[in-house]
Structure 1
Amino acid sequence: MKAYQLKVAILYLKPPIWRRCIVPAGISIFRLTIILRAVMGEPGSHLSGYKYSSLRLLFAGKMRL
């Protein structure tokens, strides 16, 4: 099974806060958002934005888990 290792960081913080995680290839944006929130410890009931710099994608939205 193909997978990707991601480095997830919160921008503009000093010192930087980041985590690494491995996700399966072909994961949906919805499932990726759930994983990112779990990895970073976000509660999931507020507006969040994600910038996928190597893929050049930006996703922002409010989702309740």
Structure 2
Amino acid sequence: MKFVAWMRGPLVLFSLSGCATGGSYCELARVIRPSVNDRMTPETEKQILTENEKLAAICGVKP
């Protein structure tokens, strides 16, 4: 039981360290461009369009 209590702190710090990226959304996000070989469902097309429109609205990027 002492081992579990002892490891709790480092495990929490380790898991939180993955959340820090050091960049803003505009620095990290890219326009989604599907491949010719991708099988596009209507839902996938809708999701790609939504994300690309969000990127254009927030960062001024033209998809």
Task: Note whether the superposition's TM-score is higher than 0.5.
Answer: no
- Normalised TM-score (structure 2): 0.29
Larger Rg: 2
| Greater relative contact order (CA < 8 Å, ≥ 6 in sequence) | 2
Structure having the larger proportion of residues in strand: 1
Structure having the larger proportion of residues in helix: 2
